[in-house]
Amino acid sequence: MNSLRSSFSNLPNALETVAAWFLALFWIAPLVYAFWAAFHPSQYAVHFDIFAPLTLDNLREALSRAPFLRYAFNTFILVTTILFAQLVLCTLAAYAFARYRFFGSNIAFALVLVQLMITPEILIVENYGTLARFDLIDTILGIGLPYMASAFGIFLLRQAFKSTPKELEEAARLEGCGVFGVLWRVYVPLARPTYIAYALVSVSHHWNNFLWPLVVTNSVETRPLTVGLGIFGAPESGVDWSIISAATLMSVAPLLIAFLLFQKQFVQSFMHAGIK
């Protein structure tokens, strides 16, 4: 009787497991399909045959039609420049907000938070004009500049710095640390999880960003992967489907592989970043 009851109450659980797996398969299918198309000759694009020959021709063809390696290099330079500048600028500003109750700090903080809502790509018209005045159109620095002072980064780091015990700062001061010594030896090391979370969110955001880089760039030397891919995949370009799939996978591969390797870290970072 008891065992019957328990197996009966296990039924919904089993059903849920099946549902979870079914939904997962359904959810990953578009991506699996892109892999299928990218590594098979184009006549197999909608013809699913287990024995279809595998090929790298689509990748080769995509590489020969557009300089994806150069785009990848540009993206790499772009995200590292942005991240480096963000870490420096946001650390300094967050330190000011967390530890110096300076004149006007509340108003200044409110003004910083405005950027959470009004992100630079919404102001494309004016920001394009600003870049043009400084002769920064079609430069990687130009793509990155509007994002370097990130309200989100300042906000996250300020939270982290605020939760650092004041006693540690006082101890460091007694040891003879100055303003930057305290920041570098006490606050920054203790905020490590926040830095990692912010870095992952920032890198994936700027790896994937499209609209603003599209507006700013117009040459192979500056174009990031997303923009290159956007031009490549536009319907009027008339490129074969399998080749587009290959190009798409190449563009997302670095981030996708990083995600698969550090899945837990990624998910936790997005969670950490979203909730605080």
Which residues from 204-243 bind another protein, rule CB under 8 A?
204, 207-211, 214-215, 226, 229-230, 233-235, 241
CA distances from 10 to 1, 3, 14 (A): 14, 10, 6
* Tokens coding 232: 């490549």
Q: Is 223 helix (H, G, I), strand (E, B) or coil?
A: coil
Q: Count of alpha carbons within 13 Å of 13, Cβ hemisphere only?
A: 5
Residue 68 engages another protein in binding (rule: CB under 8 A): no
Residues 141 to 180 in contact with another protein, rule: CB under 8 A:
145-146, 148-149, 151, 154, 179
Least separation, in Å, of the C-beta of 168 and another protein?
19
Q: Do 261 and 79 form a contact (C-beta atoms < 8 A)?
A: no
The pair of structure tokens assigned to 241 is 């489907």
To the nearest 5 percent, what fractions of the chain are helix, strand and coil? Answer: 80, 0, 20
**Residue 15 found at the interface with another protein (CB under 8 A):** no
**Element (DSSP H or E) covering residue 177:** none
244 touches another protein by CB under 8 A? yes
Cα distances from 94 to residues 71, 152, 182, in angstroms, run: 33, 10, 14
- Tell me the window of 23-31, 56-64, 65-73, 166-174 that interacts with another protein (CB under 8 A): 23-31
* Smallest distance, another protein to C-beta of residue 219, A: 16
CA pair distance 218, 117, nearest whole angstrom: 28
Q: How many residues bind another protein (CB under 8 A)?
A: 90
What is the nearest approach in angstroms of another protein to the Cβ of residue 35?
10
Q: CA neighbours within 13 Å on the CB side: how many for 191?
A: 29
Residue 97 within binding range of another protein, rule CB under 8 A: yes
Least Cβ distance, residue 243 to another protein (angstroms): 11
Task: Find the part of the chain contacting another protein (CB under 8 A) among 62-70, 109-117, 163-171, 188-196.
Answer: 109-117
**Shortest reach from residue 195's CB to another protein, in Å:** 16
Q: Are 250 and 62 in contact (CB under 8 A)?
A: yes
Binder of another protein out of 90, 140, 156, 191 (CB under 8 A)? 90
Q: Which of 12, 165, 189, 193 binds another protein (CB under 8 A)?
A: 12
**Interface positions, 37-66, toward another protein (CB under 8 A):** 37, 45-46
